[in-house]
Structure 1
Amino acid sequence: MKTNPSKQKVIDAASALFYQKGFHGTSVRDISEKATVNVSLISYYFKNKQGLLEHAVTNYYEVYLTTIEKILRDSEDMSSLDQLKMLIEAIIQYKQMNHQFSCFIHRELSLDSIFVREMTVTYLAKENYYISNIFFSVLSQNKKSDIDRQFLLMQLKGMLITPYVLQNEWKNHLLGEQSHNLFIKKYVKTINNWLDYMVNT
């Protein structure tokens, strides 16, 4: 499906501004100026700023979950551990390639923002289902208690969101595609090392 260039410019501008100034700190006029389009065009495509946010969040999570589902289908014949490692790489890669919007969403969720949480509750439930199923499958051979498994799952999920909640820790290191790719490689390796340790202890 062909993407409308003007519509995409608006979405990209909004993502950057929401990241920099937050949703409430960004006006429709700010978005129109950054995207170099008329305010009326934003109204035509999205009705208002809330409509634009809903469109952006929905699109972000639908592509994200489609990516997860594809990885799980493509890795069905692998061991649970290899499947999980492949999934983790895909998750970090997706979040990193959509870095500003990932940071915005996770920041809003960490503040328990009602307007974002209401939009993402279904998506977050599906994400949790996929990640927890494969993770518990990996731990099935370990003699860990249910509470230990829940704590370990919480640690894994924390590692998947930490770079996007604490984005200021990384902002001076992520300059250009090459540094993003290097970050993905090193960060995924760190998580994989943690997983190997969990599985073998």
Structure 2
Amino acid sequence: MDGNSSETKEKIFNTAIALFHTKGYKGTTIRAIAASAKVNSANISYYFNGKQGLLEACFIRFFEPYIACLEEEVQNLSEEGLKRAAFRILHFQSENHLLSRFVWREVTVDSQIVREILSTYFMKERYLLKKLAKAWCGPGIQAGKLNFLMIQLKSMLSMPYLNSQYIREVWGIQPEEPYFAEKYGKSVAEWLDSIRQNAGAQPEPLLLETAF
């Protein structure tokens, strides 16, 4: 692909992300993407094979580096790997906040492509996170508690980007800014430290108790 073709493809992709983010996947048409990107609709079919191809490209663009980050930490497995992975994932999402919010929002929809994502990327993510978590907490942690802890960690890492509008408008925090990933990452790291410090007793994961 020559420079002009690569530039056109990237422009289409970035335009689609911006429109998917504001109007949703279903609310965005090929015509709207073409008009906003100032290209012919045929270009979208040529580079992405239509709107479904653009959706698949979004998932690939997000999950390939996301999973690669976890794989790299597992390949160099150490006690600090889980903490490093958390920092890297936060910074990746901060740098790609529009894509991150769209992807996390889209995977809540039950569809064939999402089921494929669940059976490939998410199952791989689960395996890698558990490997890192076992290295972090030690072999004594019970499997059930480990699962709950990983669900909590995943929620911590994705929530600010899935709910970025809430974070900005209610709390006045900009999750797309690098300072947020750094400061929030330190808070996540402190939580992970508390888990490891209590690895012997392994307290129950933090659950809200109803006061009603």
TM-score range, shorter chain: 0.7 to 0.9
Tell me if structure 1 keeps the 8 A contact 2:62–2:103: no
Aligned residue runs from structure 1 range 1-201, under 5 A: 4-73=6-75, 75-76=76-77, 79-80=78-79, 82-110=80-108, 112-121=109-118, 122-140=120-138, 142=140, 144-171=141-168, 173-174=173-174, 180-201=177-198
5+ residue gaps, structure 2, are 199-212
In structure 1, how many angstroms separate the alpha carbons of the residues matched to 2:69 and 2:144?
30
- Work out the percentage of aligned pairs sharing the same amino acid: 32
- Tell which structure's C-alpha radius of gyration is larger: 2
Summarize deviations over 1:74-124 as a string: whole Å, max 9, x none.
x44xx31x11111111111112211111111111223x3314413422011
SS of aligned partner of 1:104: helix
Contact residue 19 and residue 100 of structure 1 kept, 8 A: yes
Q: Contact 1:57–1:119 at 8 Å: present in 2 too?
A: no
Give, in angstroms, the shift of residue 14 of structure 1. 0.6
Q: 1:116 to 1:103 in 2, by over 3 A?
A: farther
Are 1:13 and 1:35, in contact at CA under 8 Å, matched by a contact in 2?
yes
Q: Give per-residue Cα distances to partners, 1:98-157, cap 9 Å, x unaligned.
A: 1111111111223x3314413422011111111111112222255x43322222121111
- Find the aligned partners of 2:116 and 2:33 in 1 and give their Cα distance: 21
Q: What corresponds to 2:204 in structure 1?
A: none
Distance 2:139 2:116 in 1: 37
* Higher deviation after alignment, 54-63 or 97-106: 54-63
Long gaps (5+) in structure 1: none
Report how many residues are paired: 192
If the length of structure 1 is used for normalisation, what is the TM-score?
A: 0.85
* 2: CA distance, partners of 1:187 / 1:48: 38
TM-score scaled by structure 2?
0.81
* Higher-helix-fraction structure: 1
